[in-house]
Structure 1
Amino acid sequence: MSLDTEQTDDTGHTPFPDAPGRSKGYEKRAVDAFLAQARSAFEADDAEALRSVEVRSAAFPLVRRGYAIDAVDAALGRIEDAFAAREREQAMSRRGARAWVAESRETAQVVLDRLLRPRGRRFERVGFLRYGYRVDEVDLVGDKIARYLASGEPLTVEQVRSVAFRMQRGGYREVQVDAVLDAVVEVVLAVG
């Protein structure tokens, strides 16, 4: 298994296009440094050096003339998949397949229990004067995830990663929703 972290080649060309026009993109040095760290951690086969969840939560400053966000995010998704696959293999060899499946099943059940709560009450709400994720949009995505967890309706990790919600006053607390989405990504990758 290899990790394709796409670095600048010998001719000085970068692996990612620049953000178009006046749009901001990810700061190139920050992205390049993170990719170098990811490559080093993966090649060292050090399970503690960098984990898939850290790849998923990587964030970079937005600057003019930075890397195009979509291209970097797609590469990070592939890198996360590679780390997750390695973590799954290592965990199964250490604890056995049954323990790995039981742990993934337990996480899936916790998420499903939350998503089976009544619509509009699945997550804590922010105060009326603050903005949170739009409740109807989160509930719609939550319904799809619940169907995946309960009956195996198709759902890809890319669909979960790419979900975005508009904001509304008194909406769902972002941190809670994001934590559930992260758990869903882990479950999908674990069974993948």
Structure 2
Amino acid sequence: MGTFRRAGRLRHGYSTGEVDDFFAEARRAYEALGGTPPAAPAADEAEDGAEAPAAPATGELPAVSAGTPLALTADTVRTVVFTRRLHGYDVEAVDAALDRLHDAVARHEREVAVQRRGLTSHHEDVAARAAEVLQRLRRPDGERFPSASRLHRGYDAAEVDALCARLRGYLEEGEALAVDDVRGALFRSRRGRRGYREASVDVLLARAVEVMVTAPD
């Protein structure tokens, strides 16, 4: 699936072997169904001088495979962890490719669900997961997540609450919000009650992304 640009020689990036192995596994999963995985890396993410990949950015699978699961899940892509190594693959480039792969796999999982259970059942499943997310989003500002401790930094609560308000508008009112605005959100650090525990926020946002990616078009 191509060669990622490297981090500087004195900077840490992702283990090249682990990244190559993971994306090779993804390629095999797609090829087993006669498809092509999402392009990784994109032209601006490849090493200097590397040829841009010909694979489609979103991945392709033949229509006959719509009801056949990939040997790879969106959850696996979302939770994969790579060891940090000096002069490894650039973190941002790999993360961007993982995002594309995650969305492509999630979309295929949606197609499989529709083929197997029907469109109505799939809509009900997405609605149920959205309702779980909304339970948290509907809490008052400052109370949506556990507070950070005084000794450890968390995400700025006000900034997280602002994004939660946008997410609620998206889910309840259909207001515009791009999945990358959620997945790529950055928050300042805060201690104590001015901050939320990072792990709790990350879990909720990951669930929101899953809903956004698998929701009906």
Common fold, TM-score beyond 0.5? yes
Query: How far apart, CA to CA, are the structure 2 residues paired with 1:167 and 1:48?
Result: 38
Select the residue among 158, 164, 178 that pairs with 2:202. Answer: 178
Maintained 8 Å contact 1:28/1:66: yes
Q: Secondary structure at the match of 1:128?
A: coil
Query: How far apart, CA to CA, are the structure 2 residues paired with 1:94 and 1:53?
Result: 20
Query: How far apart, CA to CA, are the structure 2 residues paired with 1:18 and 1:127?
Result: 36
Shifted more, 159-168 versus 76-85: the winner is: 159-168
1:44-73 CA distances to partner (integer Å, 9 max, x unpaired)? 357373211211122212222111112111
- Pair 1:76-2:85 in alignment: no
Which residue of 1 is the match for residue 6 of structure 2?
18
Unaligned runs of 5+ in 1: 1-5, 8-14
- 1:126 Cα deviation after fit: 3.2
Query: How far apart, CA to CA, are the structure 1 residues paired with 2:176 and 2:201?
Result: 21
Which residue of 2 is the match for residue 10 of structure 1?
none
Q: What amino acid sits opposite 1:176 in the alignment?
A: S
Select the residue among 133, 136, 143 that pairs with 2:165. Answer: 143
Query: How far apart, CA to CA, are the structure 1 residues paired with 2:82 and 2:9?
Result: 19
- 1:100 Cα deviation after fit: 0.7
Maintained 8 Å contact 2:13/2:91: yes
Which residue of 1 is the match for residue 82 of structure 2?
60
Root mean square deviation, CA, Å: 1.8
Give the fraction of aligned pairs with identical amino acids, expressed as a percent. Answer: 42
Maintained 8 Å contact 2:141/2:161: yes
Query: How far apart, CA to CA, are the structure 2 residues paired with 1:76 and 1:94?
Result: 27
Which residue of 1 is the match for residue 184 of structure 2?
162
Maintained 8 Å contact 2:155/2:198: yes
Once superposed, which parts of structure 1, at least 4 consecutive aligned residues long, lie more than 4 Å away? none
Q: What amino acid sits opposite 1:189 in the alignment?
A: V
- 1:172 Cα deviation after fit: 1.3
Maintained 8 Å contact 1:42/1:83: no
Q: Secondary structure at the match of 1:144?
A: helix
- Number of residue pairs the alignment of both structures matches: 180
Maintained 8 Å contact 1:25/1:65: yes
Which residue of 1 is the match for residue 120 of structure 2?
98
Query: How far apart, CA to CA, are the structure 2 residues paired with 1:119 and 1:162?
Result: 21
TM-score (norm 1): 0.86
